């Protein structure tokens, strides 16, 4: 079965699809809950605001399907806002509920971080317990990835943090638990390291 890439109108969808195809992924782009439910793995791309993303996911019924996918421990990759909506709530444009698959709240980067949003390359440093995670295979610790975001994931459980990045504070840039993984950066815009991470995800799916 192919990897289901969810199409809910995210602006980075074409680039994510192109990058996944470049690393050999067998995929289907879909808006259909049943296709996602039966897929071997799922990718949730994302740019923009969590509130708008949640409206779109609910309209498609994905808010009911995605918890089933995660509960079944099927490989899942969230990208940028696709990571943020996994949390219980977001403070972006007022406090609102998200998918609630990961305990925590999406909060604004601190003013002392400098220019917000953070746009550009930044280093990703692995947590000691996650350095051998298969998602990081053949990617050196401290490698640069491309970020575009104003908010970050403030997790309740630090054990889910697979990697951190510094921008005013050390925020989770990768979370992982079982077959669930999510990244705050954009692997589809991150050159060789981004493609390697996507290649690693495809390998996990196989």
Q: How confident is the model at residue 58 (pLDDT cuts 50, 70, 90)?
A: very high
Contact criterion met (CB below 8 Å) for 80 and 183: yes
Residues with Cβ < 8 Å from 141, sequence gap 6 or more? Answer: 125, 126, 131
Q: Is 186 a catalytic residue?
A: yes
Q: Is 188 a catalytic residue?
A: yes
Peptide bond into 170 cis (omega under 30): no
Q: How many CB atoms are closer than 10 A to CB 155? A: 17
For 127-183, the pLDDT digits (tens) are 998 889 999 999 999 999 999 999 999 999 999 999 999 999 999 999 999 999 999
Q: What is the mean pLDDT of residues 108-113?
A: 89
Select which of 98, 149, 153, 188 is catalytic: 188
Q: What is the mean pLDDT of residues 31-56?
A: 96
pTM for the complete prediction? 0.96
Select which of 92, 186, 193, 205 is catalytic: 186
* Residue 96 confidence (pLDDT) above 90: yes
* Residue 106 confidence (pLDDT) above 90: yes
The predicted pLDDT at position 202 comes to 97
* Residue 114 confidence (pLDDT) above 90: no
The CA distance from 132 to 134, in Å, is 6
Q: How many CB atoms are closer than 10 A to CB 83? A: 26
Q: Which domain holds residue 110?
A: 3-205
The CA distance from 187 to 128, in Å, is 22
| 161 token code pair | 């943090």
Number of domains observed in the structure of the chain: 1
CATH number of the domain residue 176 falls in:
3.40.50.880
* Residue 186 confidence (pLDDT) above 90: yes
């Amino acid at each position: 079965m192919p990897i289901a890439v969810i199409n809910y109108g995210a602006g980075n969808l074409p680039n994510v699809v192109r990058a996944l195809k470049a690393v050999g992924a067998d995929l289907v782009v879909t808006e259909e809950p049943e296709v996602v439910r039966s897929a071997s793995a799922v990718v949730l791309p994302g740019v923009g605001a969590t509130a708008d993303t949640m409206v779109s996911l609910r309209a498609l019924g994905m808010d009911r399907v995605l918890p089933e996918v995660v509960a079944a421990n099927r490989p899942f990759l969230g990208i940028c806002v696709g990571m943020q909506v996994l949390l219980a709530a977001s403070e972006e444009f007022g406090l609102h509920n998200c998918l609630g698959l990961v305990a925590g709240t999406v909060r604004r980067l601190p003013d002392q971080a400098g220019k917000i949003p953070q746009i550009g390359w930044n280093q990703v440093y692995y947590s000691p317990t996650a350095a051998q995670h298969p998602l990081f295979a053949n990617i050196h610790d401290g490698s640069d990835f491309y970020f575009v975001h104003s908010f970050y994931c403030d997790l309740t459980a630090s054990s889910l943090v697979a990697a951190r990045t510094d921008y005013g504070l050390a925020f989770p840039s990768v979370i992982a638990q079982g077959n669930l993984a999510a990244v705050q950066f954009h692997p589809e815009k991150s050159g060789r390291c981004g493609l390697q991470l996507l290649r690693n995800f495809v390998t996990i799916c196989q």
